Structures are given as structure tokens and as C-alpha cells.
Amino acid sequence: MPPLIFRKGLDLKEAVADRLAADYHSALVDEVKAADYTYRSGRLTVHLAREFGFCYGVDRAVDYAYQARSRFAERRVFLTGEIIHNPHVNDKLRAAGVRFLSDAAERETVLGPDDVVILPAFGVTVGEMGRLADRGCTLVDTTCGSVLNVWKNVARYAQDGFTAVIHGKVHHEETRATASQALKVPDGRYLVVFDKAEAGAVCDVIRRGGGRDAFLARFGHAASEGFDPERDLARIGLANQTTMLMSESLEIGEMFRQAMLERYGESELPLRFRAFDTICSATQERQDAVVALLDRHPLDLMLVVGGYNSSNTCNLANICAARVPTYHIADPDGLVSANGIRHRPVTGDGVPGRTAREATSTGWLPVAGTVRVGLTAGASTPNNIVGQVIERLARFAGAGSPQS
């Protein structure tokens, strides 16, 4: 028997609505949005990006998880890993009794037909999905629609004999799941490139050919098994992890198009190169909104709120850091005092946690005169966290109690 899979909720949306509001809603954020996305108190002015925080896909995933816990109150309910990259949300689910198979305490857990497993917004690999189905678990699939769109393109590439070249982070849950879609087809192939430097190295191989050993030494961990650059880079289709910087994805796509053009000529290009824009619309809206905020308002500093392992949050911080002093904080506790801030230094490499560990800095907040702060949050950050950040800012800026 095929497993029971819930993909459109569990008919308990109204039943969990009050709980979700209690856990994640912020009246203060509602008031700031109504005041032209601006908060003023004493010497402090906070400008909030017009698109920030929970996107539709994240909101839906968290909603389904709450529904699952309510629907299956007497059964074991698991998540394959973090439902989204936000520690506050994941800890709320743990407190509600949802167990995380990625936690050390669950590594030896044996699943069976009586268990319920929630698939996160990032999705899971084809192999993991098969293993869960084989065990007969009831599945609650919260995979984001934007991710599913990428999967369709990658599967189509494989069916048509194209290698999927994925702009993404090779160890990210979404990228691993996306790459596995190519392997559903016999002889399907994929290659993951992280940035323009890696893309440039691959493009050099496309142009000149050869260099198989050097290529595999650098990209073997990011390519499908048995990858042969001479064979598997002859026909390529571009895709993206949905949370990457769109501007970089477009540049990488053009780099590959030009390399294929130089190698094979104009007449061959349609037969050897495909590209589809698979950046999530919510990701792009948040990136556009923070650029608009920076263009519109002179700022003393920018705060970006969200999990340190959140790709879209790290990319928002990268955009801001190019324009103004920027602090990426995981939550309101990162604002330690008017002098101290605990944050992830913005490295510009966009790899959550790879090259920068959390640090504590001093002198982050101007001690006199007006203070103009820009504020945004990643797509996995709930409004209550944003509201708490504003409250702390008001207190530390010497503005007294925040507006009610």
C-alpha cells in the first residue's frame, strides 16, 4: 500500500489559528506597517523593509506542522530535520512534542507505520522519500511550491539528456533534494556550483575540454556519481537553490551560456543550453525591498534578523553590508546592550556558518543624536521576533517605552 501523504493540510487550519497567532503574531509590527513601515520614539527611527519575515511557503509549512501535531496527538510525530532555518520556530515545535530525526537523541529511532513524519519546506531527497514510504509512515509534506517548481525543471532536464547545473550550496537541504531529482532518470546527472568563481572554473573546462582529474578533485563532492566533465557538460540546464541572490544566478547563467556559445557555436546553442529562472518570488521580493529601503532612507546601521543557517537571511545581510554597517542577529537576544551586540559577521560569501562564527561587537549603536536603523528579516523569521527587536532597540536607544 502506498503511504498516506497529506499535501494540502489536515483540515485543522482554524483549530490551530489561535495557537499560531499566540506564538508568532506581533501587534507592534502591525502598527509599524500601518505607520508607513516606520517606527519613531525619541531619538530613534526604525525603517522596516516593506517585504520581510515569513513568506507564504514558510507560513504554510509551520501551519501544517501545527495541524499535524493536533491531528495526531496520540502518535509519534517527527520532522526529518529543521522545518525552516529559524531556531525559535523549531524550538516551539520541539516544545509541542514534535521530534527531530536530525537531533542526536533520535539518530537510532526506528520508524514504522504508526509514525507521522513531517517533510520540511526544503523538501527531502528522492532516496529519503523512498525510505519513509517503505516504512509505511504517514507523511505530511510541507515542501514549498517554489522548490517543487525547480524540481520539475531539473527532472525535465534529466529526461531530455541535459545535466542540471544548480547554483546553490551543496550541503543545503534544498539543494540536496533538488539534485536528487536528476537521479530519478537513468543516467541523470547534476553539478552544484556555489558562486561565480566556481562557475568560472567549470566554464573554463567547457571551453577547453580536458582536465578531468583536476575537475573531479575540485567538484567531485558536488557532482553526481561517475560524473565525466567532457560528456556531462556537453548539454546543460541551469537551475537555482531558490534562496540564492538572483543577480548572481543571472550572471552565472550568462557565464555558462557564453561558454557553451564559444565551444559549440550559435547554431548548436539551443540544443545544448537551457536556463530557467527558478529564484523564489518571495526571496526576490525581500531582496528588492531591502534595496529599496537602502535607496530611500539614509541609515546609521542595518539589522538583519534570522537564523545564521538561513541562506536567504545571509544573502539579505550581504546586500545590506555592501551599503551600510550591517549586523545579522539570530534573535532579539543578540541585542545585548546599548554597547554590545552578538551577531554573525557578514562575510559576503553567503555560506551560512562556513567562515564566520557568532561574535560580540561593541559600539554598534550611536550614543548621541538621532539614530536611524533599517530593519529586515529573513523569510523564516516570525513577526513576534521582529517586534521584540524593535522593543529592544527603543530601550537601548534611550527612547523610553516603545509605542503601544
- For residue 395, is pLDDT > 80? yes
Give pLDDT, residue 402: 41
Percentages helix, strand, coil for the chain (3-state, rounded to 5) are 45, 15, 40
- For residue 136, is pLDDT > 50? yes
User: What is the rounded distance in angstroms from the CA atom of residue 347 to the CA atom of residue 351?
Assistant: 9
DSSP output for 206-260: HHH---HHHHHHHHGGGB-TT--HHHHTSSEEEEE-TTS-HHHHHHHHHHHHHHH
pLDDT band per the 50, 70, 90 thresholds, residue 348: low
- For residue 358, is pLDDT > 80? yes
Count of helix runs (H) and strand runs (E) in the chain:
15, 16
Spatial contact of 57 and 146, defined as CB atoms under 8 Å apart:
yes
pLDDT band per the 50, 70, 90 thresholds, residue 353: very low
Amino acid letter at 26? S
Spatial contact of 193 and 167, defined as CB atoms under 8 Å apart:
yes
Q: Phi and psi for 38 in degrees, rounded to 5?
A: -130, 135
Q: Which of 173, 174, 198, 248 is catalytic?
A: 174
What is the tens place of the pLDDT at every residue in 290-324?
Answer: 999 999 999 999 999 999 999 999 999 999 999 99
Q: How many residues does the chain have?
A: 404
Distance from CA of residue 392 to its chain's centroid? 26
Chain-wide mean pLDDT for the chain? 94
Q: How many other CB atoms are found less than 10 A from the CB of residue 329?
A: 25
pLDDT band per the 50, 70, 90 thresholds, residue 279: confident
Average pLDDT over residues 31-55: 97
Residues near 35 by beta carbon (within 8 Å), at least 6 away in sequence: none
User: What is the rounded distance in angstroms from the CA atom of residue 260 to the CA atom of residue 316?
Assistant: 31
> All 3 cell numbers of residue 35?
505607520
Q: Which of 341, 329, 344 lies closest to 375, judged by CA?
A: 329
- With the C-alpha atoms ordered 63, 64, 67, 68, is the resulting torsion angle positive or negative? negative
Domains of the chain: 23-55+282-396 (3.40.1010.20), 56-144 (3.40.50.11270), 146-279 (3.40.1010.20)
Spatial contact of 44 and 121, defined as CB atoms under 8 Å apart:
no
What is the tens place of the pLDDT at every residue in 184-221?
Answer: 999 999 999 999 999 999 999 999 988 899 999 999 99
- For residue 399, is pLDDT > 70? no
pLDDT band per the 50, 70, 90 thresholds, residue 349: low
| Higher-scoring residue by pLDDT: 356, 274 | 274
Spatial contact of 27 and 384, defined as CB atoms under 8 Å apart:
no
User: What is the rounded distance in angstroms from the CA atom of residue 106 to the CA atom of residue 396?
Assistant: 41
Q: Which of 58, 80, 121, 96 lies closest to 385, judged by CA?
A: 58
| Weakest mean pLDDT among 151-165, 226-240, 320-334, 355-369 | 355-369
DSSP output for 323-363: TS-EEEESSGGGB-SSSEEEEB---SS--TTTS---EEEE-
Q: Of all residues in the chain, what percent carry a pLDDT higher than 70?
A: 96
| Higher-scoring residue by pLDDT: 31, 404 | 31
What is the tens place of the pLDDT at every residue in 245-273?
Answer: 888 999 999 999 999 999 999 999 999 99
pLDDT band per the 50, 70, 90 thresholds, residue 401: very low
What is the tens place of the pLDDT at every residue in 363-387?
Answer: 999 999 999 999 999 999 999 999 9
Q: Which of 132, 134, 103, 104 lies closest to 118, judged by CA?
A: 132
Catalytic residue check, 174: yes
**CB crowding 236-267: b at 16 or more within 10 Å, else e:** bbbbbbbbbbbebbbebbebbbebbeebbeee
What is the tens place of the pLDDT at every residue in 77-89?
Answer: 999 999 999 999 9
Spatial contact of 149 and 123, defined as CB atoms under 8 Å apart:
no
